[in-house]
Structure 1
């Protein structure tokens, strides 16, 4: 598919009447495996992308993130939405440039979050700056030759600011700024999910991957969710299985994991 075709396919998934799962790949092998499994779109995970090269979430540079994205685009024909963190800079112009670079790398969608990434100081950008950053990302996306899907993330709960009213206020403002998809990671319960979904008209993404706070496709669909991502959960599950096999070898001298498949 051309990039235009991929962009249209991603948008169509959001517009159908039932939720879909966008699987988070972390390397070439996982991207190919997820495509073969039958997923219709992929997302990147900033944390998984960092861990596979020995770094922590937030430590990849923009150049490193784009190189990772190009690698994934090069091995799968599926549309890819990129986890672009906070846009690699505080200014609206930084967010716009990150969207342009992601599109050049082959993505047809991407997310911008409102967390500052600062160890000292406020966890979130103030309301006005946050909205301006999303608006700039949307404007950059609209100048592309295809319809890039912009996801705007309100990071309140993820950043230890558990204010649902402010989360909804931000998401509503991001919708008015033109965001195509809205996302508030780590919402505390299904009641909060329902409130968020009822408060906006654009598709809402829910992040599964946290024990005790993950739900089935059917349950999330009933709550109003249109897209479900899985964060680092597939990556961590794969690494856990490999670690269990390694422990068996070292502790027992056996290779039963091979026969177990």
Structure 2
């Protein structure tokens, strides 16, 4: 069982304990990254993939909601909250490194309940997006207020990655929108911002606008800028969405075809 998350219910509020210590480990991994040396967090979708990434030496993991959804047989965004939290709990219990969980838009939960359920799962970080239930961007100030409530409920014992969806939800000026939203979320207490799908050409402007705040960039498992290049452009942290699961799916499909060829006839 994981010692990183401290088990279900470890710690409450801002009172310290193993959960808060593990959250600080995750926070420290983001701190003072040298240019060209971003924190790379692979995204496990089950216990087997989580153990594989830990065995490879990654110091922390970041679950992808789309990857977990696919592993459970759901479309992205359609996973019931209870099943998502159960999947995150299984992943956390399977490894000894800190785990941060993509919990989409928080499933409509009030901030204190969301924080309590995250703690029960053992995760020490969350990724929370600003796409609303209707599929469009939320009001940024209302979302910032909710993030502030999450921060107040969690205290220091939760690393909050605020995903900014301006690039994927049709904002007319996505860079300007991403910067404005990211600044509001930083003021609300976010530890990191994630302008998902921001082109690499926009990373320097985002970096300049955000000062020392950690910046999450999306990478493809194959192709595109290297991790080091993304780091030099301003990324502090690299995640993959469901890209690693899709790569594993394709490899498994190829193996299945090969196996079927061996049995045909």
TM bucket (normalised to shorter chain) is 0.7 to 0.9
Q: Deviations over 1:103-138 (max 9, x none)?
A: 22101110111101325xxx0111221211211111
TM-score (norm 2): 0.86
Distance 2:24 2:144 in 1: 26
Moved over 4 A (4+): none
Aligned partners of 2:221 and 2:247 also within 8 Å: no
Aligned partners of 1:87 and 1:112 also within 8 Å: yes
Distance 2:166 2:63 in 1: 21
Change (3 A) 1:78 1:210: closer
CA drift at 1:96: 4.0
Change (3 A) 1:77 1:200: same
Match of 1:168 among 179, 202, 206: 179
Aligned partners of 1:88 and 1:95 also within 8 Å: no
Aligned pairs (5 A) from 1:1-261: 1=3, 2-18=18-34, 19-89=38-108, 94-118=110-134, 123-142=136-155, 147-161=157-171, 163-187=174-198, 189-201=199-211, 202-209=213-220, 214-250=224-260, 252-253=261-262
TM-score (norm 1): 0.87
Which runs of 5 or more structure 1 residues have no equivalent in the other structure? 256-261
The alignment's C-alpha RMSD in Å is 1.9
Which runs of 5 or more structure 2 residues have no equivalent in the other structure? 4-17
SS at the partner of 2:201?
A: helix
CA drift at 1:159: 2.1
Distance 2:117 2:203 in 1: 32
